[in-house]
Chain A
Amino acid sequence: MVALRQAWLLAVNDLRQEARDLELVLTSTFFSLVVLIMLGMSFSALGISAQPLAVPGMLWLSVAFVGALTLGRIFTREREFDTLRALLVAPVERVSIYLAKAFVTIVILLGCCLITVLGLTLLFPAAQPFAERPLETFALVLMGCTAYAGVGTLFAAGLASSSGKNVLLSVILYPLTMPSLLFALVATRSLLEGHESFLTYLGQLTATNVIAFVVGAWLFEPVLVGVPQQRRGAARAARRRR
C-alpha cells in the first residue's frame, strides 16, 4: 500500500508540473497531429475495403511513435535535473517510481490517442466504428497504451539512470512493444469489422498488460540500481550451505 500511495503522489507531482507549462502535452499532441496528417496524406487514396486493414496500423503506429517521444522526454527531463537519482536515494519504493512514470505516460498517450482516433474517424469512413462504439474504443486504446507504457517505462528509466544514449531507447522500445501492439492491432481490426471475437482479443491484450507490469515492476529495481548487497550475500550463503 505504501508503494501505491507513493506512486500516486509521484504521478500527481509529475502531472502538476506538466500542468504548469504543458510542454509534454503540447509537443506530444502536436506530434500526433503531424503523424495523423502524414498518414492521411499517404493513405487518402485507400479504397473503403482496404481501410479496415490499414486504420488499425495507423492508430498503433502513431502510438508507437508518440510513445517513444513521450517516454524519451519524460526521462530526459529526469536526467537533465538528476531528479531520478534523488528519488532512488529517498525512502521511496522503487516500484512506485515505475508505476508513477507509467501512469503519466498512459495519461499523455491517451490524450494523443484522442486526437488520433478522432482524426482517423474524420479521415477514413471505415474508422466510423470508433465513434459508434466509444466505450469499446476507449477500453481498447487504454489497454494498448497501458501495455506500451508498462514495457517502455522500465527501459526508458534504465537508460536514464545509466546515462545511456537516447538512440538506444528506440532500438529497445520498438521491438519490445510490438507484440503488445500486435495484439492491439488485431483487436482494433476486429472492432472495425464488428467481429464477435473483439472481447477475446481485448482480453488477450489485457493479459499482455498484466505480464508487462508484473515483469516491469519486478525488474525495475534490479535494472536501475542492481540487487542490494544484502540479498546477494544471502544468495551466496545459501549456495555455500548447499
Chain B
Amino acid sequence: MSEAALLELRGIGKHFGRLAVLRGLDLDLHSGEIVGLIGANGAGKSTLLSIIAGLMPPSRGQRTFAGSEGVGRDERARFAVVSHTAQTYPRLTALENLELFAKLRAQAGGHNEALRPTLDRLGLGYAADRQAGTFSRGMLQRLALARALLGRPEMLLLDEPFTALDRPGRTLLATVLAQERDRGAAILLISHDLEALVSVADRVVLLEGGVIAGDVARAPGGDTFAERVRSLAGRMPAVGAEAHA
C-alpha cells in the first residue's frame, strides 16, 4: 500500500437546504486497499459516493483524487463507479454495452482490456451476445462491474455490489475485488453485507452523523477483525431512530 492517499476527502460537507447529510467528513483511500463503508439508511453513503464520483459538488470541503481537485474527463478515465442500479442499456447485448464504453474511453485516449475475457472473468462469457434486458439482477451487477474494470481503474467505487448476488456470485466478486486490490487499485465498497465486507475489506469505516465515526482495520495475524466490524456496525442506530442523532 503506497503512503500518499489516492483519494483524500477533507472537511466534506453536504446539505440540502437545512438537511445536513455530511458534516465535515475526512477520509483517505490508498492504492492497494479495500475500504468498506457502512452506515444506516439515510446516513449519506450514496451522497458521499456521488461527491467522490464528481456527480455532485460538496457544499464545503475538498475532494482530491490523485493530487487533483478536478473531475474532468481525464480524471474520470482513472476511476470507475458501480452503482446499485446496473446502469446498462437493456436493448444492447452484454458485449455491446462494454463495447460502447470501451470505445468512448478509447476516443478519450484511455486504455481498455479485451472485452470477452473481461466478461469471462465475471462469469458472463456465455451471455455475451444476449441483450442485457434479459439478464437477472445479479448478472446485470456483474456486467456493470465488467464495464468498470475495462479501463483498469486506479479507483473503484461500488455501491451495494453484493446485494443481488447469490453465494457463487459473491465469491466471484470477492475474488475479483481482491485481484484488483492486489493490482494496486483503491476500492471503496458500500455494503450492508457485513459477512462480505469482513471477507474482502482491509478496513471498514462507519458513516454516522455525517462524519466517519469509526474505523477498524484488519491487523496482520489478528483474527478479531470480524468481531470489531460487527461491533462497529452495532453502533448504527436502530430502524426508526434518527439517522443523524
List residues of chain A with CB under 8 Å of any chain B CB: 2, 5-6, 9-10, 13, 16-17, 20-21, 81-83, 85-86, 88-93, 225-230, 232-233
Contacts and interface: CB of A to CB of B under 8 A. Distances in A.
Given A229-B69, A230-B68, A91 B110 contact: yes
Contacts of B85: 81-82
25 contacts: A9-B104, A9-B107, A10-B104, A13-B92, A13-B100, A20-B91, A81-B85, A82-B85, A86-B88, A86-B101, A88-B55, A89-B80, A89-B81, A91-B73, A91-B74, A92-B73, A92-B76, A225-B54, A225-B55, A225-B57, A226-B56, A228-B71, A229-B58, A229-B70, A230-B70
Contacts of A225: 54-57
B77 A227 contact: no
A13 B89 contact: yes
Contact of B57 (A86, A89, A228): A228
A181 B196 CA distance: 57
Contacts of A92: 73, 76, 104, 108
A81 B89 contact: yes
Interface residues of B, number: 39
Contacts of B80: 89
Interface in B69-106: 69-74, 76-77, 80-81, 83, 85-92, 100-101, 103-105
Query: Which 5 pairs show the lowest CB-CB distances between chains A and B?
Result: A91-B77, A86-B87, A230-B70, A82-B85, A91-B108
A228 B107 contact: no
Given A20-B91, A82-B85, A229-B62, A90 B71 contact: no
Contacts of A85: 55, 83, 87
